[in-house]
Structure formats: structure tokens, C-alpha cells
Amino acid sequence: MAQGKFVAYYRVSTARQGQSGLGLEAQQEAVRTHLNGGSWQLVAEVVEVESGKRNDRPKLAEALRLCRMHGATLIIAKLDRLARNVAFISNLMESSVEFTAADFPQANRLTVHILAAVAEHEAQMISARTKAALAAAKARGRKLGGDRGNFLNVRDRGNAASVAVRGGKADRRAADLAPVMRELQAGGASLRQVAAKLNVRGIPTARGGAWSAVQVKRVLERVT
């Protein structure tokens, strides 16, 4: 049975389908049937109306933002409709958002990685060809080898990269939350009241706890 929070993402191919609901109602029914039973909350439903020639997915970006903000799982009706879509796969893999499909409940972000197997295989083939070329060069007497005396610099670059990744995630989450916070402030809410309203809406902090005025202030300062 389904547990936790979900954001549903539906895709229809043309504006006409979007207006008529053709295909959309079937996707909605599939999601609701999958979520039937258990303890779950459907936070939002996002509909993408697109043509086959479009590569941008603004509504997908919105759905992923909502997932990050609420700590929710992205759910779609049919995996086969999106599994072959390069834009969907790349956006999902970069989003750090958990994922499930109503027609394939076992699918998740790990499944999406499998969909990139062809590209990974090609990279491995390139690596194998490179190693073979280096081996051939060594056999011809060419001196090979890297700079093994530069360990400290390499280590420092790795630490800096790790800090940058963590900072990037914090920046992205702050960018997701800031519009909601500013909207509440525009309505006259203080920092403490903004924190209370976020808690009422079920939007968790980065560590999954409750909001305080200080945390709201830090998020707003981060995006300023």
C-alpha cells in the first residue's frame, strides 16, 4: 500500500488533448487506483501539455520542485510513456527526487539509471579503447604514468567539489522555498508566522524537522 506524500505528473501530447482530457483521465485514474489504500497524501497534480518536438518540460520542473519542497515522491501513470524521453530521464536523474510509476510500482530512480545503460556502455567502450591504445603505446616503449606526487592537491579539489555539491543542493532547495515564503510575507506574515504556515502545510525543513523563524530567515538570506 502507498505511504507518504506524492506529486502526480501527467503528460498529454497536444493542447487539444489537454483541453478535452483525452488520455489525461486515464492517467489520473491509474494514479488514484495505485494509491488506493494505505496512508498517503496527493500534494499536487501537474499536467504537461507538449508536442513531440518540444524538449523543455516546465511542468516537470514544477512537479520536481514540489516534490523537493514537500519531501514527496513523483508518481506517473505509465512508465513507457516517459522512459524513452531523454529530457524526462535527465531531469529526473539530476533532481534527487524519488519516483514511482502506477503501471510498474517496482520502478524508481534506480530503474531510470538502467535506462541510461546504453550511454554508459558506450562510455565503457571508449574507456576500453583508450586503455588498449595506452597498452599499445607502452609496448612500443613510450613512457606512461600520471602525477602521483600531487595527492594533496587532488584531495583538496575533491573536498572542494563535495562542499560545492552540498551547497548546490542547499541553493536549489532555497530557490524552491523562497517564492512560497515571500508570498506569505507579502500577505503580512512575520518570519515566525511564515514558519508556522510552512509547518501547517506539511513542508519539512531540509533535515525533515519543523520550521523556525531563524531557519526561514536563513533561506531568504541564501537567495538574496
Instruction: Name the residues annotated as catalytic.
Output: 13
Q: In what order do the strands lie in the sheet with 99-101?
A: 39-49, 3-12, 73-76, 99-101
End-to-end CA distance of the chain: 42
Q: Read out DSSP for the chain?
A: --EEEEEEEEEESSHHHHHH-TTHHHHHHHHHHHH-SSEEEEEEEEEEE--TT----HHHHHHHHHHHHHTPEEEES-HHHHTT-HHHHHHHHHHT--EEETTBTT--HHHHHHHTHHHHHHHHHHHHHHHHHHHHHHHTT------TT-HHHHHHHHHHHHHHHHHHHHHHHHHHHHHHHHHHHHTT--HHHHHHHHHHTT---TTS----HHHHHHHHHHH-
The C-alpha atoms of residue 130 and residue 221 are separated, in whole angstroms, by: 47
Tally of CB atoms within 10 A around 212: 16
